[in-house]
């Protein structure tokens, strides 16, 4: 799949923002974007300037090849809010489409600028250390086209809060391998749904064991949703995230939290704690099996 995507990975860049729609795909190496990090430079609407810089707008964009398509992780900041979004870009009928997969807003549920479209036609351009994303009929430009320009940045590990936000974005898109890769090689996940022979909470140690646990939990819930309600950082390296979780086997959202210990840009340990007993939906199993196991 990686070889196939290498042959056709980047769209031709249009000469202007006239709103005529994306052009056909042209060959560019996947390595040009895979694992890259970018910081926002400018944005222009096709009908006028968009002075986001004077409004305190900032954005970091990380791009990777994932599952035969591109994955964008956008961290946007304005003076009174911030949001993290995970968007997947894929080629359909020779044209790029950008799909919103998951979003977190802080304060909780804040849009932090115009809400991103669930499906967005785009064109991409890359020239040296400058990356451009042309969004057609963009909500940032009142339905006109928007050209976002980014500058290449060193591939640094994300700040701790950003790392945690990505954890929950990946949980909501059911990416077991991506979640496990966020842990240190000897990292661990402690969860209350499984007990050891001596009655202790189950501890899954190492990326392979963590990935296997996430795979089982996602398989147990065909549909699920998690909403972060609070992110608190008591001190560097230690964070508490409260959440509400829902799937088809629950009668109402389940409240819980994760305790994170982070070191050197990786999750050293996370412990899942339930703040209440789950209430299974009518006809669902009353034991903490499929109804409760997918909590993060």
Q: Give the total number of structural domains in the chain.
A: 2
Q: What is the pTM of this model?
A: 0.86
Task: Give dist(CA 210, CA 205) in Å, integer.
Answer: 7
**Residue at 94 is within a domain:** yes
Q: Please tell me whether residues 129 and 262 are part of one structural domain.
A: no
Final residue of a domain: which of 102, 127, 153? Answer: 153
Separation CA 193–CA 254 (nearest Å): 13
CB-count exposure of residue 258 (10 Å: 0-12, 13-18, 19+): buried
One domain, residues 134 and 74: yes
CA triple 6-11-16, angle to 5 deg: 160
- pLDDT tens digits along 135-149: 999 999 999 999 999
28 band by pLDDT with thresholds 50, 70 and 90: low
Same domain (yes/no): 25, 45? yes
Mean pLDDT over each residue of the chain, to the nearest integer? 86
Q: What is the pLDDT of residues 155-166, one digit of tens each?
A: 888 899 999 999
Between CA 67 and CA 226 the distance in angstroms is 23
Q: Note if the bond before 212 is cis, omega within 30 degrees.
A: no
Rounded CA-CA distance 206/186 in Å is 5
Of 183, 181, 158, nearest in space to 258 by CA: 183
Give the torsion sign (CA, 104, 110, 114, 117). positive
pLDDT of the residue at 282? 82
Q: How far apart are alpha carbons 266 and 229 in whole angstroms?
A: 23
**295: pLDDT confidence band, cut at 50, 70 and 90?**
low
CATH number, residue 25: 2.40.128.120
In this predicted structure, the answer to whether residue 294 has a pLDDT above a threshold of 90 is no
Domain of 187 in residue numbering reads as 160-274
Mean pLDDT (whole number) for 57-68: 93
Specify if 72 maps to a domain: yes
């Amino acid at each position: 799949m990686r070889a196939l995507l290498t042959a056709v990975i980047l769209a031709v860049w249009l000469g202007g923002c006239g709103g005529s729609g994306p052009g056909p795909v042209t060959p560019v190496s996947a390595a040009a974007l895979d694992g890259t990090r970018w910081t926002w430079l400018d944005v222009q609407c096709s009908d006028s300037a968009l002075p986001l810089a004077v409004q305190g707008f900032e954005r970091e964009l990380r791009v990777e090849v994932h599952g035969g398509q591109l994955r964008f992780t956008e961290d946007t900041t304005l003076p009174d809010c911030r949001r993290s979004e995970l968007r997947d870009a894929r080629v359909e009928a020779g044209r790029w489409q950008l799909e919103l997969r998951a979003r977190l807003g802080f304060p909780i549920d804040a849009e932090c600028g115009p809400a991103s479209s669930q499906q967005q036609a785009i064109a991409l351009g890359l020239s040296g250390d400058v990356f451009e994303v042309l969004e057609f009929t963009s909500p940032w430009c009142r339905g006109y086209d928007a050209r976002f320009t980014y500058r290449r940045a060193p591939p640094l590990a994300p700040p701790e809060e950003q790392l945690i936000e990505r954890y929950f974005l990946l949980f909501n898109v059911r990416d077991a391998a991506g979640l496990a890769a966020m842990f240190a090689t000897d990292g661990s996940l402690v969860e209350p749904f499984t007990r050891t022979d001596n009655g202790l909470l189950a501890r899954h140690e190492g990326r392979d064991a963590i990935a296997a646990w996430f795979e089982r939990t996602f398989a147990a819930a065909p549909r699920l949703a998690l909403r972060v309600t609070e992110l608190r950082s008591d001190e560097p390296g230690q964070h508490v995230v409260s959440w509400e979780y829902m799937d088809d086997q629950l009668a109402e959202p389940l409240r819980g939290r994760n305790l994170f210990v982070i070191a050197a840009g990786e999750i050293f340990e996370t412990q899942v704690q339930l703040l209440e007993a789950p209430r299974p939906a009518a006809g669902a199993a009353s034991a903490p099996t499929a109804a409760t196991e997918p909590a993060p």
